[in-house]
Amino acid sequence: MANRPAFQQMLEDMKAGKINYIVAYKLDRVTRSVRDLKVLISELEKHNCYLICDRDEFTSFYDKVFKSANL
């Protein structure tokens, strides 16, 4: 993720509270590394931001929604 200037700018915007959702076409367009995904999700959680992938069944907030609803 470090060699992606626009991605880094997006993360800075997230940290500044400018965005709450990151929407990607597919998860592999965000990252192909499980380790980087773990770091990203950790950062998202710190800043109350969520990742949604349109073509994959991945959304970073489903776990929280279902747990809070006791589903």
Q: What are the sequence ranges of the domains in the chain? A: 5-68
**pLDDT tens figures, 13-34:** 999 999 999 999 999 999 889 9
pLDDT at 53: 87
Structure tokens at 24: 């990607």
Rg (CA), the chain: 12
- Run of H or E residues at 58: strand 58-59
Q: Which range, 8-12, 29-33, 38-42, 52-56, has the best average confidence (pLDDT)?
A: 8-12
Which superfamily is assigned to 5-68 in CATH?
Resolvase, N-terminal catalytic domain (3.40.50.1390)
